[in-house]
Amino acid sequence: MKIASYNVNGIRAAINKGFIDWLKATNPDVICLQEIKALEEQLDLDLFREAGYHHNYWFSAQKKGYSGVAVLCKTEPDHIEVGTGIESMDFEGRNLRVDYSDVSIMSMYLPSGTNDARLAHKFEYMDLIYDYLNALRNDKPNLVVCGDYNICHEPIDIHNPKMKGVSGYLPEEREWLGKFIDSGFIDSFRYLHPEKQEFSWWSYRANARANNKGWRLDYAMVSEPLQEKIKRSVILTEAVHSDHCPILLELDL
């Protein structure tokens, strides 16, 4: 099974930059999208169906043009779970899960901490999602949580590890991500590529992408029972429809 994840920074903008052609060429079985910034009724769903994704699910933020996640599937899932049931997490459309018989896949968009209020919200979300996913694994032990975590875990995951006091690389955020992994998840990219430095997000400022001054914010986290099934995990840096690039996970199910 090929699972892609992509923070598209606006699905309509990404479509205008050639996203559909990229999707057809990459051809994942399931793709998790984050930061869709659109309502389902604002989209031409035939574009996705013509690309082979007849089963697509959308969870938008209450605020228009903001946040939101989606999952596009070639094969119909057994079950779709929209949101978490926790209001403070769900009003911004940050979690959507599809369940198959042998794997459950979540698209997750963890908040960024752009100011003090948003950082407080981010920490609250981190605590809530940690507990939610640990409970969920009792029912769904084969779990993949794809998405934009808005955190660099280790110095190798950021172009300038001396950066201090910036959300996304705060000690508390990095410690939480380590705790999340230790609770029973595998960072599939780092598991297969322990020494490789690649990034998945670049600022639009100061020619950061051309100079590869990036951050690795996007992860395909795989629950431990799936460890032996991890076949491939890569960052697709050539895709340029967003300030992020997509990631791709292959599981041998």
Catalytic site residues? 148
Name the strands in the sheet holding 30-34, side by side, starting at the edge strand that comes first in the sequence: 55-59, 69-73, 30-34, 2-7, 247-251, 230-235
Alpha-carbon distance 186 to 116, whole Å? 30
Dihedral Cα 53, 55, 37, 98, nearest 10 deg: -120
Report the C-alpha gap between 7 and 147 in whole angstroms. 7
Q: How far is the CA of 99 from the CAs of 30, 36, 42, 123, in angstroms?
A: 11, 21, 26, 27
